[in-house]
Amino acid sequence: MGLNAQTAVPTFTASQVLTAAQQNQINTGIPVFATTTTRDAAFGGSNKTLAQGQYCYIEASSQLQVYTGSAWQSVGTGLTYITQATPTAVASVSINNCFTSTFANYLLLIDMTAAVGDGVITARLRSGGTDSNTNYVGQRLIGQATTVAATANPSGTDDAYFSTIQATTASSYALSSNIYSPALARGTVFNTFAGSNDGAGSVIQFVWNNHTTASAYDGITVFTSGTSFTGTIRVYGYQNS
């Protein structure tokens, strides 16, 4: 039985003098720390000894974590919310520091509410606030009504193609992209699915992109070649185990 294992959930009466043992017993709540650094400094020494079953909450990453006895692991259902951007009538959105080595793979969701100008939605990985604009390859499969078409590198090789978008039907646009290993020193793969009610009918697009540069990136920029877009971009991390 570890130090955090309880044998009772006690109640106390008014004016009762609590012993140190009793205080320690109830000192198993979920402490909140700013970062993993302040978390690590808070245990040991004159503080509580870190032991299996200890939970904590990290403000910087919005993560609930548990100590297994040898390491801290995130607690959740497999998907951890990272952040969201809510652009209003802008031509591009950069999200910095959303990719870390904590997660190998990420989910990006784009939910449009409006757009000005028809265009193409593309993305670039970024590091230290600078976009990477080389070494993208891709393949698109697009279906509209009874027509299916395939295109290689539909936006060239300087960005990752996501989809087309039409201003008049932007509110029906939704995109999800599974992004593999953006923060690892290897190539990054985007598997993207987008759909919308286009001018000529409903359209769906499946796109695979590979950024072949073997570098770690900490962010992403999403662009429209139209005038602007409005909506929400959310980033989640898939837990590794």
Q: Which residue in 95, 107, 142, 179 binds another protein (CB under 8 A)?
A: 95
Q: Residue 102, SS3? A: coil
Pairing of strands 174-180, 105-116: antiparallel
How far apart are alpha carbons 221 and 237 in whole angstroms? 17
Structure tokens at 38: 């302040």
The verdict on 83 binding another protein (CB under 8 A) reads yes
Site string for another protein, 99-138 (x = CB under 8 A): --------------------xx-x--------x-x-----
Contact 105, 179 (CB under 8 A): yes
Residue owning tokens 């499946």: 206
**Candidates 67-75, 154-162, 165-173, 181-189 — which segment interacts with another protein by CB under 8 A?**
154-162
* 145 near another protein, rule: CB under 8 A: no
Measured distance CA(67)–CA(130) in Å, rounded: 36
Q: Residues 44-63: x/- map of binding to another protein (CB under 8 A)?
A: ----------------xx--
Choose, by CB under 8 A, the member of 90, 109, 114, 216 that binds another protein.
Answer: 90
For 157, phi then psi, to 5°, come to: -120, 15
Q: Tokens 């970024």, residue? A: 126
Q: Which of 42, 50, 85, 204 is in the footprint of another protein by CB under 8 A?
A: 85
Q: Which of 89, 150, 185, 214 binds another protein (CB under 8 A)?
A: 89
Q: Is 141:206 a contact under the CB 8 Å cutoff?
A: yes
The residue ranges that bind another protein (CB under 8 A) are: 60-61, 82-83, 85-98, 119-120, 122, 131, 133, 154-156, 158-159, 219, 223, 225, 228, 235
